[in-house]
């Protein structure tokens, strides 16, 4: 954060208006005055917390001073300004107007510390450990360490998968893709991603299928690593995250180790008692030896271009990015069991709160579905055809969270993760970190999966789980 206003003496005060009053703050407490920035709404936060903003890499809570003083919380007007003040937690105060920096005492001085403590009951405890993996999570999901986690995708009506730790990100095809002359059919072109040129390769062609033509709205790219190089595989669609024990993987029959395509299948994964077979791919077996050699050679040429000594092996975390209304949220990928389409019919639960949409039959198990749109008080409606259910396990209890859409798997460097501001009344706020990567002016709020359900909701789900015998029909 920048230093306090250097032009003021210790006797100077800033005069401004809010809640119909002429007010004053010591100039020594003020860092700067800015126009109201774009803010990202934080769910389950007090009404006076308008949201958070990115102020030159710092997460800045924006508070309505009108609301704190007992008035009506309103949107910013043309004359409104945000006064950035120092304190236990740096905050921005939205005021109606700033009038003067003066030595005059004309204006009621406000005790900002008392005001914040009274309205937000700021925690006196040290900051929480914000790492994704916790001791509780290890206890409740001790089997996770014995499982392999895959991302499955569709190619020519067949299901394939890559190990999740081999995937950098998943996204829509970039708007700008430059074609390359004198390349084979598998090479679609190159696109700029994260400041580097990444080759886009048709996974269909690599596996010997006809190249996909026509509407490619559902196509996705899966960025993986080949040595030190990034390669984007274009697939028909992304299915889900799935987990399997190592003994569920079988070697590939010799007759399948060499098909018409260039890529080779690494293994076959058996799920659902062998009724579901998934072909597992590996980056090292996507290309023939000559192509792999060229890709690795190009990676060595690109390495010196990386600035400030940055390496591609820097510490990072992966998140499933989903959308509710205009806001983007992220869940740690390790907490997500799978992502599925919302079925047409859910079994209603009598006397359940409105945010419990019902029960879904997930491979013979009844899973309660929570409507996150209603839980986060998101206005408006969303295209139901794009809605997805993110299945997670919390304290040993499985639940599905209904969201507007799941957009991508995002790898975020640790240096771009910031703690959420400690301005929530709740001792366990839903949002515990913020990714300082802006999407169309919004930051990505990272959700603590353990805090998505409060105690009443957990008790409700426990009742559902213990009182339901057969799985519902969906």
Beta strand pairing call for 220-226 and 397-403: unpaired
Give the confidence band of 39 by pLDDT, cuts at 50, 70, 90: confident
pLDDT tens readout for residues 149-200: 888 898 888 899 999 888 888 888 888 888 766 567 778 888 887 667 888 8
12-25: per-residue pLDDT in tens? 888 998 888 899 88
Q: Write down the domain spans for the chain.
A: 13-120, 142-309, 316-467
Residue 199 near residue 287, CB atoms below 8 Å:
no
Check if the beta carbon of residue 88 is closer than 8 Å to that of residue 108.
no
pLDDT score of 3 more than 90: no
The 8-class DSSP code of residue 342 comes to P
Q: How far apart are CA 244 and CA 152, in angstroms?
A: 12
Question: What pLDDT does residue 99 have?
Answer: 87
Q: What is the mean pLDDT of residues 247-270?
A: 77
pLDDT digits (tens, 9 = 90+) for 122-141: 554 444 444 333 333 343 34
| pLDDT surpasses 70 at 470 | no
What pLDDT is stored for residue 161 in this prediction?
93
Q: Which of 37-51, 127-141, 203-217, 247-261 has the lowest mean pLDDT?
A: 127-141
Q: How many CB atoms lie within 10 A of CB 375?
A: 22
User: Higher pLDDT residue, 116 or 267?
Assistant: 267
| CA distance linking residue 233 with residue 113, whole number of Å | 53
DSSP state of 40: B
DSSP-derived secondary structure letter, 174? P
Of the candidates 47, 46, 99, the residue with the CA atom closest to the CA atom of residue 73: 47
DSSP class per residue in 221-285: EEEEEETTEEEEEEESEEEEEEEE-GGGEEPPPGGGSS-SSS----EEEEEGGGTEEEEEP-GGG
pLDDT at 403: 92
> What whole-number distance in Å separates Cα of residue 474 and Cα of residue 169?
32
Higher pLDDT, 278 or 410: 278
* pLDDT above 70 coverage of the chain, percent: 74
**Vertex 348: Cα angle to 346 and 351 (nearest 5):** 155
Nearest CA-CA partner of 194 in 38, 418, 446, 413: 413
- Tell me how far apart the alpha carbons of residues 151 and 222 are, in angstroms, rounded to a whole number: 10
| Lowest mean pLDDT segment, chosen from 145-154, 287-296, 383-392, 427-436 | 287-296
The CATH architecture that domain 142-309 belongs to is Beta Barrel (2.40)
* Pair type for strands 327-332 and 417-419: unpaired
Q: What are residue 170's DSSP bridge partners?
A: 222, 409
Task: Specify the pLDDT at position 459.
Answer: 57
pLDDT at 280: 93
- The superfamily in CATH containing domain 316-467 is CheA-289, Domain 4 (2.40.50.180)
Which 3-state string (H, E, C) describes 47-91? CCEEEEEEECCEEEEEEEHHHHCCCCCCCCCCCCEEEEECCCCCE
Residue 406 has pLDDT above 90, yes or no: no
Sorting pLDDT into bands at 50, 70 and 90, what band is 144? very low
Q: Chain-wide mean pLDDT for the chain?
A: 77
What whole-number distance in Å separates Cα of residue 417 and Cα of residue 442? Answer: 14
Nearest to 22 by CA among 108, 88, 122, 137: 108
Among 65-69, 140-144, 340-344, name the most confident range.
65-69
Show the DSSP H helices in 141-231 as ranges.
Answer: 203-206
Of the candidates 9, 7, 51, the residue with the CA atom closest to the CA atom of residue 32: 7
CB-based contact 45:424 (threshold 8 Å):
yes
- The class level of CATH for 13-120 reads mainly beta
- Span 334-370, pLDDT tens digits: 888 888 888 888 888 887 777 888 899 887 888 889 8
DSSP 3-state assignment of 401?
strand
The DSSP output letter for 36 is: P
Expressed in angstroms, the distance from the first to the final Cα of the chain is 53
Q: Which of 101, 218, 103, 221 is closest to 170 using CA atoms?
A: 221
Q: What is the pTM of this model?
A: 0.69
Strand arrangement, sheet containing 196-202: 187-193, 196-202, 229-235, 220-226, 167-172, 405-413, 316-324, 327-332, 442-447, 431-439, 417-419
pLDDT at 258 over 90: no
The reported pLDDT for the residue numbered 461 is: 62
Does this chain's domain 13-120 share its CATH topology with 142-309? yes
pLDDT of the residue at 130: 40
């Amino acid at each position: 954060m920048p230093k306090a206003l250097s032009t003021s003496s210790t006797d100077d005060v800033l005069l401004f208006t809010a809640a119909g009053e002429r007010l004053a703050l010591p100039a020594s407490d003020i860092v700067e005055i800015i126009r109201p920035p774009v803010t990202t709404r934080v769910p389950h936060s007090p009404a006076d917390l308008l949201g958070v903003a990115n102020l030159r890499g710092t997460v800045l809570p924006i508070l309505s001073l009108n609301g704190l003083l007992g008035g009506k919380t309103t949107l910013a007007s043309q004359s409104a300004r945000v006064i950035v003040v120092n304190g236990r937690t740096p905050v921005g105060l939205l005021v109606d107007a700033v009038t003067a920096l003066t030595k005059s005492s004309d204006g009621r001085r406000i005790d900002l510390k008392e005001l914040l403590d009274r309205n937000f009951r700021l925690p006196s405890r040290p900051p929480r450990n914000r790492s994704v993996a916790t001791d509780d999570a290890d206890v409740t999901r001790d089997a996770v360490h014995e499982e392999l986690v895959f991302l499955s995708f569709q190619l020519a009506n067949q299901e394939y998968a890559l190990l999740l730790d081999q995937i950098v990100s998943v996204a829509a095809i970039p708007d700008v893709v430059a074609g390359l002359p004198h390349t084979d059919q598998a090479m679609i072109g190159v696109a700029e991603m994260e400041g580097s040129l990444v080759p886009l390769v048709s996974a269909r062609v690599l596996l010997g299928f006809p190249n996909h033509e026509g509407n490619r709205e559902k196509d996705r790219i899966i960025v993986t690593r080949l040595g030190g190089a990034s390669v984007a595989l274009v697939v028909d669609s992304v299915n889900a995250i799935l987990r399997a024990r190592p003994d569920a993987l079988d070697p590939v029959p010799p007759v399948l180790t060499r098909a018409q395509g260039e890529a080779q299948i690494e293994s076959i994964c058996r799920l659902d008692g062998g009724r579901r077979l998934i072909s597992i791919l590996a980056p090292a077996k996507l290309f023939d030896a000559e192509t792999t050699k060229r890709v690795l050679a190009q990676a060595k040429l690109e390495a010196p271009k990386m600035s400030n000594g940055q390496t591609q092996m820097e510490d990072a975390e992966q998140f499933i990015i989903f959308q509710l209304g205009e806001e983007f949220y992220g869940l740690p990928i390790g907490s997500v069991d799978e992502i599925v389409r919302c079925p047409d019919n859910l079994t209603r639960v009598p006397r359940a709160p409105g945010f419990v949409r019902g029960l879904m039959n997930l491979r013979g198990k009844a899973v309660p579905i929570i409507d996150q749109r209603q839980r986060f008080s998101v206005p408006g409606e969303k295209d139901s055809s794009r809605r997805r259910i993110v299945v997670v396990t919390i304290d040993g209890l499985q639940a599905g969270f209904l969201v507007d859409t799941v957009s991508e798997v995002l790898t975020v460097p640790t240096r771009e993760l910031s703690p959420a501001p400690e301005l929530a009344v709740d001792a366990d706020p839903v949002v515990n970190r913020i990714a300082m990567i802006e999407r169309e002016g919004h930051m990505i709020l990272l959700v603590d999966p353990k805090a998505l359900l409060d105690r009443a909701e957990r008790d409700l789900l426990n009742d559902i789980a213990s009182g339901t015998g057969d799985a519902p029909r969906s």
